Amino acid sequence: MNRHSIWAIYRFEMARALRTLWQSLVTPVLTTSLYFIVFGGAIGSRMSTVGGVGYGSFIVPGLIMLSLLTQSISNASIGIYFPKFTGTIFEILSAPVSAFELVIGYVGAAATKSVVLGLIILATAACFVPLRIEHPPAMVAFLLLTALAFSLFGFIIGVWAKGFEQLNFVPALLITPLTFLGGSFYSIDMLPQPWRTVSLFNPVVYLVSGFRWSFFGKGDVDIGVSLAVTFAFLLLCLGVIAWIFRTGWRLKN
């Protein structure tokens, strides 16, 4: 394994994040703080608890997951799209760097930035509401798995996109709505039938539920099912990326 090439790609992507620190870090934290002020203050004053958990604390896992999904996709998609846009992707592909090493560099950097952002949002949330984490290893596992899976998904989007507008197409029109409808701000047990059953077809429900379970020991679906869905999505993204490099789809042609 060419560790120098992995480190060079990783360091370049992390340096780009530092150059755009306001956009990469400060803006999501401010946005999350507004969520706490609006949802925690306005709705929380009328909805004291959800499943025995204070509403302000209840929405914390959902808010972290919302930022984690969108930032993982954004970081990874922009990271691989810019070499395509500038034409330097051909230099990278012709360098003595394997596809595996290339993915580790780009996806690793995107996942790192997303995890750091998630931890900062968690610390920010602790300033607004009381928090407890009943299963810290599970919380860390879900944080890492989700960041990796959706960074891989963002890598696919970056390869697929033919313009900057397509980079925001999937996060804005698919991921964000699915996250809002995936139990980020409510429990799907509160929904009447058949909407509760329909919600189970939303994959984000399993991510939010598993992450919330790691905090409070309660979730909308079984923790085992949540882990299985997360692993399945990660493996699916790995399979798609392997096919992309095997065929050269939108990389070499």
- Residue 229 has a pLDDT of 92
E strand or H helix at 54, and its extent?
strand 53-54
pLDDT score at 41: 65
> What pLDDT score does 148 carry?
95
**Exposure on the CB side of residue 157, measured as CA atoms within 13 A:** 27
Say what the pLDDT of residue 142 is: 92
Q: If pLDDT is split at 50, 70 and 90, which confidence band does 241 have?
A: very high
| pLDDT tens-place string over residues 184-220 | 888 888 888 888 888 889 999 999 999 999 999 988 9
CB-based contacts of 59, cutoff 8 Å, min separation 6: 35, 36, 39, 40, 184, 185
What is the 8-class DSSP label of residue 191?
A: S
Burial of 136 per CB tally in 10 Å (0-12, 13-18, 19+)? exposed
Q: What is the pLDDT of residue 135?
A: 94
User: pLDDT tens for residues 41-70?
Assistant: 666 666 667 778 888 888 889 889 988 998
Q: Is the Cα torsion angle 239, 245, 247, 248 positive or negative in sign?
A: positive
Instruction: Return contacts of 81-87, CB within 8 angstroms, 24+ apart.
Output: 81/158, 81/159, 81/161, 81/164, 81/167, 84/158, 84/159, 84/250, 84/251
Q: In this prediction, what percent of the chain has a pLDDT beyond 90?
A: 38
pLDDT digits (tens, 9 = 90+) for 137-160: 999 999 999 999 999 999 999 999
For 111-125, what is the mean pLDDT?
A: 90
The answer to whether the CB of 60 falls within 8 A of the CB of 125 is yes
Which range is most confident: 149-158, 161-170, 171-180, 192-201?
149-158
pLDDT on residue 172: 79
Could you state, in order of their start, the residue ranges of all structural domains in the chain?
A: 3-247
- Distance, CA of 203 to CA of 207 (rounded, Å): 7
pTM of the model: 0.90
Helices (H), 87-172: 89-94, 99-126, 136-160, 164-167, 169-170
